[in-house]
Chains A and B, each alone.
With several copies, the nearest count.
Chain A
Amino acid sequence: MSDTAVAAPEKLTKKQLSADHPTWCPGCGDFAVLASFFKVLEKLQIPQEKIVTIAGIGCSSRFPYFVNSHGLHFIHGRALPLATGVSLSRPDTHVFVFGGDGDGFSIGGNHLEHCARKNINLTYVIMDNYVYGLTKKQTSPTSRIGYKSKTDPTGAIDRPVNPMRKLISAGATFVARSHASQVKHMMAMYERAILHPGFSVVQTLSECVIFNPGSFDDSIPRKGGVFETIDEKKWDDTPEDAERHDVTNDVSAYQLAEDQYPGKFGVFYEEDRPTKNVLEQKWIDASQEKIGDAKAADLLRKRFAMMK
């Protein structure tokens, strides 16, 4: 998403942005995602009526109820195509999609891919808890092998999706990874995602304390894990810089995503490619230029003359 720096007349505060108290379980990682989102919105001061939060179905997908903005709580797995409709037809709004790993990678996996290659201008936060939360503990496409769920009582056996790799290969133009236990990191990622013009995605590990407790301990320093962030190239010609990650290089981004447990955190990939929004608008502009100031009735009249 882009074009966000327009300041609202009155200052937008967290208080204004808060709607219902979240119905998530105490301790759920999703609370921190919400809090970080509020903080970034406060910082960017997007006019309140221009914020649109859209979600499918899942614990995480209840997000729109907790944000006091225009919102839509859709059906399972289809939030992205719906958001595509909003983004393409209402360039004046800022479109955000929130959802879970099941919603995004299972039933919604194909929409994600096509949204990415078309580079639809919106920001998508996947709150990944490696489990189906709302339906109470079935294996999700990101569940680790061996994870015991109601649908894998002896442990999951299917190789999980690698979200970063999926997104990079699909053509998403901003691909990042963050962690609900790291508020500052989340904020930085969300801010960059929002400021990115195009399809920006931040996979955010968000612990389901009920059905998958401790799942991300490996990446939480205070639980003995390692939170390994990506060291991005600074283009400062120093020898250290040679070792750093070039976020514009999709092959190294792909390589960097190899190990996903606990994996690395930060921006994997960022590309400057025209959005579908811009490309379609170009066509609209060209068409309208051609017709001059013909009204709908004129266009129809002209077309029907051809059918005589």
Chain B
Amino acid sequence: MTIAADEAPLKDSVDTSESSALPLEDLQDAVIRFAGNSQDGIQTVGGFLARLAGRSAREVMTYMTIPSTISGGPSIFQVHLGSGEVLSAGDDTDFLVAFYQHSYEDHLSSLKEGGICIYDTDFVEPDLTDKRYEYVGIPMTSTTIEAIGGSTKSRGKNLFVLGLITTIFQLDRKKLCEIIDRQFGKKDESVLRNAMLAFDAGYAYPIGDLFKNRYNLKAGLSEKTDRVTTDGNTALTYGLLAGGVRYGAGYPITPWSPIMEVLRSELPKYGGLFLQCEDELGAVSAALGYSFAGHLAVTGSSGPGLSLKMEALSYACMAELPLVVINVQRGGPSTGLPTSVEQSDLMQAIYGSHGDVPRVVLGPQDVEDCFHIALEACRIAKKYSTQVIILSDQALSSRIEVFEEPDWDVVVADDSSPDLTPRPEEFKPYPLDSLTQHAPPGTKMLGGKYPVVTGLEHDEWGHPSANPELHQKMTDRRREKIKQLQAELPMPEVFGEKSGEILLVGWGCTFGPLREAAGRLQDAGRKVSHAQIRHLHPLPADLGSLFEKFEHVLVAELNDQGLYGNGQLATLLRSAYCNPAIKSITKTDGLTFKIREIVAGVDHHTQISS
């Protein structure tokens, strides 16, 4: 059953007249938090709203929590919809939709003063004497059951709420129906019917007596109404495909698994394949097998799995085999907080392998950037025959954002089959003075001598040697090629003036909160700028001189301050530039930064020192 939106079974008789009589209030943006249990399908609803934003010239950012028990448990999905730029999922919420008493109790404090708590009267008994908020009680569960017919119990409550939100916020019902149809249309006929019944029950729910207003989310700046709505893991995955990755190997782990699952399904279409291995050691080895065979390959994992790949990554450096490595970071140490965000694997990415192992580390700053960083990683890995680690994280992995579709004719990599052109007699796989790619199997060696790729120190021909001068020269070679890359890296974009009192510096998923914080401080009259560093190792060459133009360089990161009071990126920056203006704002509570935490950190450092 496929129902085009205009054929959607919304009965004409649905009476929305009463609620449409409410006065309209214009909103620039709104933060809505759905709080329930993971089984309630609130992610689905959140995803629909995000996708609608992508189709209706609005911006969106989402945030969700995942219960740590297998059988599910309390979970939230927060949607920040806006007409201007939406940079974070919002510190505080304007609307709280509470499904259960625990949802209400745990999340009420997230509401701004004057915010509205919409609750399910079938499960929640709010304390109406708390006058900081407004309360709207609706029998969500029973109304849904009534609408669908008793059998399916409370399933569908999420779509009831979606209907409700649609009417409250004057959302585009037709587009939403299309989106619902695409999700459920492929399933059993009854599934779509029930979904639409629940949706309509919410849409038609008489809210006239309950709300003071209806709301109008103004259309955004972007003209485009055909933008892409997706999460960071998905963006990253397709970036790899666009970048020319045709082979991959991995082992499941949260939150990396979705990347490997999509690659496993997609790669055969591209003539490649993804191998699920027995463990991460096998996975990185198989990936290096592809590289040796002449392909651009990927492996990845999350923290614990990355630790297991460190020995083979040391080999890859010595053998100069190209490889893209994904680490979707989560809370550590050890199994830690597997479904929370943290940025504590940066040092490991750079320094985790034994020996002097120069390699490249990149950090995408938002969902769209996951796509572009993946492309860049592919390019760098190939050009420099090096390993590029992409540090994504749990927040980026599951967060939904809207962005413009890439220009495929520009971004898609050329033919990525192995280069088997015969190599001339004088071919050296590791010349001291230039970049090269090794000769993969199948290549004829015209000089008659075939090469062995090795993890032992070796001469220019790849032949093992323990000659002291050679080890020095080859160490130089491995370092200098990464410095050559460094020379071509762009400086990070600076938001605000290029000199001033404070430069806020961050990396990865904290882009939004940092930029918002900078904006807020600028509005308050302070000379604050912001730069998000996407090239973490090597750092862009002129970064040190940018830093010198600020009184304070405050590096905000979701990791620990360590033994010397510096977060991981701050440690790197301080050591590279020896600039005591570089200070840290860190935390490890498994949550992303709130704007006010950054502002507080700025106040702290600038008061201390002024």
Chains A and B touch each other in the complex, with CB atoms below 8 Å apart? yes
Residues from chain B with Cβ under 8 Å of A304 in the complex: 228, 238, 405-406
Interface residues of A in 273-308 (CB under 8 A from B): 280, 283-284, 286-288, 290-291, 294-297, 299-301, 303-304, 306-308
**Which of A63-71, A224-232, A238-246, A247-255 is the interface stretch?**
A63-71
B288 touches A82 (CB 8 A): yes
Q: Would A85 and B55 count as touching, CB distance under 8 A?
A: no
> Is the beta-carbon distance between B261 and A150 smaller than 8 angstroms?
yes
The B contact surface, by secondary structure, is mixed
Query: Which residues does chain B contribute within 8 Å of A139, judged by CB atoms?
Result: 276
Of B113-121, B249-257, B479-487, the one contacting chain A is B249-257
Q: Is B294's beta carbon under 8 Å from chain A? A: yes
A180 at the interface (CB under 8 A from B): no
A145 at the binding interface (Cβ < 8 Å):
no
Please indicate the chain B residues that have their CB under 8 angstroms from the CB of A307 in the complex.
51, 54, 228-230, 234
Q: Looking at B71, B247, B291, which has the most chain A CB atoms within 10 Å of its CB?
A: B71
Task: Decide: A81 near B242, CB < 8 A? Known: A49-B444, A308-B54.
Answer: no
Could you say which of A70, A75, A291 contacts B312, with CB atoms under 8 Å apart?
A: A75
Taken together as a complex, chains A and B put the C-alpha atoms of A186 and B13 apart, in Å, by: 60
Q: CB-nearest residue of chain A relative to B255?
A: A135
Question: A211 → chain B, closest Cβ, in Å?
Answer: 10
Chain B residue nearest in CB terms to A114: B278
Closest Cβ–Cβ distance, residue A284 to chain B (whole Å): 4
Binds A, one of B15-23, B450-458, B560-568: B450-458
| B88, CB-defined interface residue at 8 Å | no
Among A69, A111, A114, A307, the most chain B Cβ lie within 10 Å of the Cβ of A307
Contact of A301 (CB < 8 Å), options: B268, B288, B408, B418:
B408
Judged by a CB distance under 8 angstroms, whether B275 is at the interface is: yes
Q: Which B residues from 38 to 72 make CB contacts under 8 A with A?
A: 51, 54-55, 69-72
Q: Once bound together, how far apart are the Cα atoms of A25 and B73, in whole Å? A: 11
Decide: A75 near B455, CB < 8 A? Known: A88-B275, A287-B269. Answer: yes
**Stretch of B92-100, B165-173, B435-443, B525-533 lying at the A interface:** B435-443
Using Cβ atoms and an 8 Å threshold, which residues of chain B touch A19?
Answer: 449-450, 452
Judged by a CB distance under 8 angstroms, whether B409 is at the interface is: yes
Minimum Cβ distance to chain A for residue B312 (Å) = 6
Bound-complex Cα distance A75 to B270 (A): 31
Partner of B289, one of A24, A85, A294, A300: A85
A291 to B269, CA, bound (A): 7
Give A138 to B264 CA distance when docked, in angstroms.
11
B511 interfacial by beta-carbon distance below 8 Å: no
Check if B292 is an interface residue, CB within 8 A of chain A.
yes
Give Cα A296 to B243, complex, Å.
10
Q: Is B105 in the interface zone, CB < 8 Å from A? A: no
When distances are taken between beta carbons in the complex, the residues of chain B under 8 Å from A77 are 279
Q: Is the CB of B293 within 8 A of A86?
A: yes
Once the chains are docked, how many angstroms separate the CA of A25 from the CA of B69? 9
Residues of A within 8 A of B275 (CB): 84-85, 88
Nearest chain B residue, comparing its CB with the CB of A55: B452
Q: Given A74-B455, A85-B290, A89-B289, are A114 and B444 neighbors across the interface (CB < 8 Å)?
A: no
Closest to A102 in B: B252
Indicate whether B311 reaches chain A with its CB closer than 8 angstroms.
yes
B198 on the A face (CB < 8 A): no
Q: Mark B197-233, 1 if CB is under 8 A from A, else 0.
A: 0000000000000000000000000000011111000
Given the interface contacts A85-B290, A136-B257, A153-B264, does A90 sit within 8 Å of B273 by beta carbon?
no
Most buried by B among A85, A290, A303: A85
Given the interface pairs A24-B70, A297-B408, the reply to whether A308 lies near B276 with Cβ below 8 Å is no
What total of chain A residues lie within 8 Å of the partner, measured CB to CB?
80
The distance from the CB of A134 to the nearest CB of chain B, in whole angstroms, is 6
CA distance A72 to B454 in the complex (A): 6
Which B290-316 residues have C-beta < 8 A from chain A? 290-295, 297, 304, 311-312, 315
Query: Is A107's CB within 8 Å of the partner chain B?
Result: yes
Task: Tell me which of B54, B412, B418 contacts A300 (CB under 8 A).
Answer: B412
Q: Considering the chains assembled together, what is the distance between the CA atoms of A52 and B249 in angstroms?
A: 21
One digit per residue, 1 when the CB lies within 8 angstroms of any chain A CB and 0 when it does not, for chain B 69-95 equals 111100000000000000000000000
Say yes or no: A73 contacts B445, CB within 8 Å.
no
B271 on the interface (CB 8 Å rule)? yes
In the bound complex, residues from chain B placing their C-beta under 8 Å from that of A134 are 70
Contact A106 B285 (CB under 8 A): no
Residues of B within 8 A of A78 (CB): 281-282, 285, 312
How far is B275's CA from A107's CA once the two chains are assembled, in angstroms?
Answer: 15
Shortest CB distance A118–B (Å):
9
When C-beta atoms are compared, the residue in chain A nearest to B311 turns out to be A75
Q: Are B455 and A73 interface neighbours, CB within 8 A? A: yes
Chain B contacts for A93, CB-based, 8 A = 293, 441-442
| Chain A residues positioned under 8 Å from B71 (CB to CB) | 23-26, 28
Cβ-defined contact, B228 with A90, below 8 A: no
Is A267 close to B, CB under 8 A?
no
From B241, B276, B287, B450, contact of A85 by CB (8 A)? B287
Cross-chain contact A49 with B449 (CB below 8 angstroms): no
What residue of chain A has the Cβ atom nearest to residue B448's Cβ?
A: A16
* Residues from chain A with Cβ under 8 Å of B268 in the complex: 280, 283-284, 286-288
Q: Which residues on the A side are within 8 Å of B288 (C-beta)? A: 74, 82, 85
Say yes or no: B276 contacts A151, CB within 8 Å. yes
Indicate which residue in B226, B265, B335 contacts A75 across the interface (CB closer than 8 Å).
Answer: B335
Q: Find the residue from A89, A139, A150, A286 having the highest chain B CB count within 10 A.
A: A89
Q: In the bound complex, what is the Cα–Cα distance between A138 and B250 (angstroms)? A: 12
Minimum C-beta distance from A66 to chain B (A): 9
- Known A72-B453, A296-B242: A132·B290 in contact at CB below 8 Å: no
Interface status of A175 (Cβ within 8 A of chain B): no
Which of A81, A90, A133, A280 counts the most chain B CB atoms within 10 A?
A: A81
Give A108-120 as 1s and 0s: 1 = Cβ < 8 Å from B's Cβ atoms. 0111011000000
A interface residues with partner B (beta carbon < 8 Å): 16, 19, 23-26, 28, 48-52, 57, 59, 62, 64-65, 68-78, 81-90, 92-93, 106-107, 109-111, 113-114, 132-136, 138-139, 141, 150-153, 210, 280, 283-284, 286-288, 290-291, 294-297, 299-301, 303-304, 306-308
In the assembled complex, 26 residue pairs joining A and B whose CB atoms fall closer than 8 Å, in A order, are A19-B452, A57-B335, A62-B70, A70-B439, A70-B452, A72-B454, A74-B288, A75-B335, A75-B455, A76-B304, A81-B285, A82-B289, A85-B287, A85-B293, A86-B289, A88-B247, A89-B289, A89-B293, A93-B293, A107-B280, A114-B282, A151-B260, A210-B70, A288-B268, A294-B269, A295-B412
Given contacts A85-B275, A138-B276, A153-B264, 7 further A-B contacts (CB under 8 A): A49-B441, A71-B451, A84-B282, A84-B285, A85-B292, A86-B293, A111-B278
Interface residues of B (CB under 8 A from A): 51, 54-55, 69-72, 182, 226-230, 234, 238, 241-242, 247, 249, 251-254, 257, 260-261, 264-266, 268-273, 275-283, 285-295, 297, 304, 311-312, 315, 319, 334-335, 405-406, 408-409, 412-413, 418, 439-445, 448-456, 464
Counting from the closest, the 5 A-B pairs by CB-CB distance are A85-B289, A23-B69, A287-B268, A81-B285, A71-B452
